[in-house]
Chains A and B, each alone.
Chain A
């Protein structure tokens, strides 16, 4: 039983949730905010009652996909995890999910939890829920007005790692030197994942890197192979800092436009057929496999779960509309944009794009990042682009400087008019790629639903 104060907080939060659901709203953050403001301990108490413990997934890109993949695997293993699905990844979103799962007397219905957690909230959440496993996918520059510089985010991650219980497992990307280094001073178990395949190299010119010098001794880092930005096979010629051999490794990665095949381990390793393109999704899959392994779930189960994986909201998700295929790609920062573009571009690809840029708090109010994103790689493939959103004109300008001829870019105000313009421009059967920032993706998804093409996202 919870204490009386926790029970009051839980009841208030659950009542809020019922009221919001009754009026048709998502209830993904407010109940948690209320619970935490009445009693900080309620989330800790609820989390402690989960017999399989809590997994926290954080990092700049890949949080949602990785935690979804892991949730599929643990479900296939017979668990009933609670999961903060709709991108509500602050402490209040985590608390809301715990509140929603618990009965009115504080008994969990789930047996474990998988939470994706915003980089800015990771220290608070780590202290709140005492994770059994923490996954850090990668760290790149992202929304500087909100998160601060990458150095600041890295310090925060170090603090979260220090807050992990001694019996926890820290799952790290070996190929990201900033992330991998977080394991150096960890007191808990560390499990790393990475790609060993020498043919896996970035298809774009790597114009912007967040780490060029050794984080230990400041000498210039050398790379045998760069996959994306500062992610790859690195070593410092001076102090010996180097990519460690990951325990969970793909010896081979073959990415096609409709999926990715991974061979795990050396020689005749297990084969993962992932129905999602992009090397970045190979990393997400490896992170999920490593986390599942840390939870004692067999590789066979993870492989089967990944084979039937369906992309979450806005992550290469496909919506059929008026005989056209709309592929939604959420882009929030240069690394995420470049990773998505790498996945979308095949040598002869022609791109029909609906691009939407917002600058609300959740998007980052500084739109400078679009100038770091490699629109130059995309530009030659663009047949036409409809641009929309609060900062549509900045996107039009970006496309101009990327070399897209003016007559191929059209600014359309309003979400539904922009969707209609793109659908009219595309021929039946053609694919339109929707590249949009966070709140623009929400708005476009909502507009698509009002037009009868897609369900509201919190229904899935």
Chain B
């Protein structure tokens, strides 16, 4: 069995530990004998919507994010939308999450259009949310948030988790992240996937379904993952 992973704009949108997310996807496939390949599709490349089972879309700095937003509007965004509609899975973090929504509204100037893959929109905020996060989804979700954008979900998107400690999507409604079909968005770094292996396995399962049908993943020994997650949970619980 094989899995084709696309690290979207992996050279531009790879801030703070996004590499750990891609590595986790790859390793957890390898450990199960699934042949995973990772390719970067970046600004100026032409995305082939048929090719990939799983997209990872990370965060970037403002200057890089502008380049990415332009490239998405120039055609790759439409191709990505087609791919997700045809059954590919996508996991997005921070800046990538914001770009998957309908739009980003800055303090001044026009709204920056997003892809609308997630029924969500983001508004610039003054205070930056920085700190460890504990949220409860299907299982506990831990990570580190560092964002000033406030993301609000529409009716089509479900929250990925409910915040226990931290700000989450917007610091107001207690939600963290979004799920819509096989598309996920979240603000959590940390890196996200190494300490939340259940989420890694979820998107791997979704992605394998595209070409291999329903798949039951082998269980892995996650003792090291769990003990790192426990430390992160207790740190988040101390957050004021």
List chain A positions with a Cβ less than 8 A from chain B. Answer: 141, 144-145, 149-151, 207-209, 212-213, 215, 218, 220, 359, 365-372, 391, 393-394, 396-398, 400-401, 406
Contacts and interface: CB of A to CB of B under 8 A. Distances in A.
Interface in B222-239: 224-225, 227-228, 230-232, 235
Contacts of A400: 224
B19 interface: yes
B231 A372 contact: no
Given A144-B16, A144-B146, A365-B130, 17 more contacts: A141-B16, A145-B131, A151-B63, A212-B12, A213-B43, A218-B63, A220-B44, A365-B144, A367-B190, A369-B16, A371-B20, A372-B17, A391-B231, A393-B227, A394-B231, A397-B228, A401-B194
Interface residues of B, number: 39
B194 A393 contact: no
A150 B14 CA distance: 13
Contact of B15 (A144, A359, A367): A144
Contacts of A151: 61-63
A253 B181 CA distance: 55
A368 B189 contact: yes
Interface string B2-29: 0000000001101111111101100100
B74 interface: no
Contacts of A208: 14, 19
Nearest to B239: A365
B132 interface: yes
B206 to A, nearest CB: 21
B191 interface: yes
23 contacts: A145-B130, A145-B146, A208-B14, A212-B12, A213-B64, A365-B132, A366-B16, A366-B144, A367-B144, A368-B189, A369-B17, A370-B20, A393-B231, A394-B195, A394-B228, A394-B231, A394-B232, A396-B224, A397-B195, A397-B228, A400-B224, A401-B23, A401-B194
Contacts of B11: 209, 212
Nearest to B195: A397
A145 B19 contact: no
B67 interface: yes
A144 B130 CA distance: 10
Given A207-B19, A371-B20, A213 B144 contact: no
Nearest to A394: B228
B146 A371 contact: no
A397 B224 contact: yes
A396 B225 CA distance: 9
Contacts of A371: 17-21, 23, 191, 194
Contacts, number: 97
A335 to B, nearest CB: 13
Contacts of A366: 16, 144, 146, 189-190
A237 to B, nearest CB: 13
The 5 closest A-B pairs by CB, nearest first: A371-B20, A368-B17, A371-B17, A393-B228, A371-B191
Contacts of A359: 235
Contacts of A141: 15-16
A365 B131 contact: yes
Interface string B85-116: 00000000000000000000000000000000
Contacts of B227: 393, 396
A149 B19 CA distance: 17
Nearest to A400: B224
A389 to B, nearest CB: 11
A149 B15 contact: yes
A372 B194 CA distance: 13
Contacts of A212: 11-12, 64
A372 to B, nearest CB: 5
B190 A372 contact: no
A208 B132 CA distance: 24
Nearest to B26: A401
A141 B59 CA distance: 13
A368 B16 contact: yes
Contacts of B20: 368, 370-372, 398, 401
A398 B228 CA distance: 10
Contacts of B18: 371
Contacts of A372: 14, 16-17, 19-20
A428 to B, nearest CB: 31
Contacts of B130: 145, 365
Contacts of B61: 149-151
Contact of A393 (B16, B21, B23, B224): B224
Which residue, of B44, B61, B232, has the highest number of chain A Cβ atoms within 10 A? B61
Nearest to A359: B235
A145 B14 contact: no
Nearest to A395: B228
A151 B62 CA distance: 8
A292 B61 CA distance: 35
B144 A396 contact: no
Given A145-B130, A213-B12, A396 B67 contact: no
A154 B228 CA distance: 34
A358 B61 CA distance: 25
Interface string B132-151: 10000000000010100000
